[in-house]
Amino acid sequence: MNSTLNNAYLSVSPEVQQALSENRPVVALESTIISHGMPYPKNVETALNVERIIREHGAVPATIAVIQGKITVGLTKDQIEYLGKKGLDVPKASRRDLPVLLSRGMDGATTVTTTMIGAAMAGIRVFATGGIGGVHRGAEVTMDISADLEELAQTPVMVVCAGCKSILDIGLTLEYLETKGVPVLGYQTEEMPAFYTTHSGFKVDYKIEDPEDAARTFAAKLACGLKGGMLLANPIPPQYAMDLDYINSNIDAALKECNELGIRGKKITPFLLDKIQKLTGGKSLEANIQLVYNNAAVGAEVAKALCREA
């Protein structure tokens, strides 16, 4: 078992701890989607459904959050309910926020970045989420680049997602990941999915055929001691995908309002996602939920295959 389980700021549930010690598959899950992703009780319902899907695919779910000053890996149902009810009152915790939240005994909803950190501390190698952050449009002026990309460059966790969020500059995000040496793999696709849509017009580095292929690739990276993680881009199921032009027009409208209101920093993404949900009449929220479910299922299969590689 990972020696970091003794860390004073880390709390791992008995179920997750036992699974790791027995080399059984575990899939990490973030908590920002609970507190900041959607309203209560839809957020709690979605989170519990994601955990159920992972269990149905033969793996153990490990939802991660900062609870009373501890990076908690494997939330209980009551803790998920607690985060869901508190909603936006729970601080959004990225890497820079962790020292303050931990030292002050506070709560925090983990982003992709901090979920990767918690997963790595506990010894979990696979993390399923919706979409990663990336390089924002206009970043050549604002320098607005998500910490998720730096975390992928240094933390050894495979992130299963539906690409980066459509509100971002996908081309620049891929360039950044290439510079940092992060492999971007397409799950049964050669094209980088764009969150709500299966197409973006940008190619991934390599196409991955199945969970075993993904596990072998990541196992080879770990065996060579190569720093950082890996991105497995898994397209949203076609029946839930949205038209690229339709979603882009709504993103443009949301970005225009965001700029007019002077919204900056970490407030941009939640504002844009909420605005796009309203502009699409809730269709983007449903698409978001379905792609998360799909990523959870693929993440569980990859985690099982990775255990077989050990």
115 C-beta neighbours (distance < 10 Å), count: 32
CATH code for the domain in which residue 289 is found: 3.40.1790.10
Tell me: do 140 and 113 sit in the same domain.
no
Condensed to tens digits (0 to 9), the pLDDT of residues 71-102 reads: 999 999 999 999 999 999 999 999 999 999 99
Q: Is 249 helix (H, G, I), strand (E, B) or coil?
A: helix
Mean pLDDT of the 204-208 span: 98
- CB distance 291 to 157 below 8 Å: no
pTM of the predicted model, to two decimals?
0.92
Where does the pLDDT of residue 281 fall: very low under 50, low under 70, confident under 90, or very high at 90 and above? confident
Given 79, 99, 124, which residue is the final one in a domain? Answer: 124
DSSP classification of residue 11: E
Range of the domain at 268: 129-310
Where does the pLDDT of residue 1 fall: very low under 50, low under 70, confident under 90, or very high at 90 and above? very low
Structural element, H or E, at residue 13 = none
Tokens representing 212 are 């075993």
Given 108, 124, 140, which residue is the final one in a domain? Answer: 124
b (16+ CB within 10 A) / e for 39-54: eeeebbebbbebbebb
Tell me: do 30 and 81 sit in the same domain.
yes
Q: Tally the domains of the chain.
A: 2
Give residue 310's pLDDT. 72
Tell me: do 75 and 177 sit in the same domain.
no
| Whole-angstrom Cα Rg for the chain | 18
Helix ranges (DSSP H) in the chain:
14-21, 32-35, 42-56, 77-86, 98-103, 112-122, 139-142, 147-154, 170-179, 211-223, 244-261, 268-279, 283-309
- CB distance 173 to 166 below 8 Å: no
Tell me: do 297 and 149 sit in the same domain.
yes
pLDDT at 165 over 90: no
Given 124, 156, 178, which residue is the final one in a domain? Answer: 124
Tokens representing 160 are 């299963």
Residues whose CB falls within 8 Å of the CB of residue 24, separated by 6 or more in sequence, listed in order: 18, 59, 60, 307
Measured between alpha carbons, how far is 146 from 148 in angstroms, rounded to an integer?
A: 5
Mean pLDDT of the 115-135 span: 96
Structural element, H or E, at residue 186 = strand 184-187
Among 77-81, 121-125, 198-202, 223-227, where is mean pLDDT lowest?
Answer: 198-202
Tell me: do 146 and 272 sit in the same domain.
yes
Tell me: do 201 and 305 sit in the same domain.
yes
Tokens representing 66 are 């900062």
Tell me: do 94 and 224 sit in the same domain.
no
Tell me: do 293 and 158 sit in the same domain.
yes
Give residue 3's pLDDT. 40
Tell me: do 160 and 203 sit in the same domain.
yes
Tell me: do 52 and 133 sit in the same domain.
no
Tell me: do 117 and 139 sit in the same domain.
no
Residues whose CB falls within 8 Å of the CB of residue 233, separated by 6 or more in sequence, listed in order: 161, 162, 163, 184, 185, 186, 187, 189, 192, 193, 204
Tell me: do 117 and 236 sit in the same domain.
no
Catalytic residue numbers read: 30, 165
Phi then psi for residue 244, to 5 deg, are -60, -45
Closest CA to 302 of 167, 125, 179: 125
Among 90-104, 132-146, 261-275, 295-309, where is mean pLDDT lowest?
Answer: 261-275
Phi then psi for residue 231, to 5 deg, are -110, 125
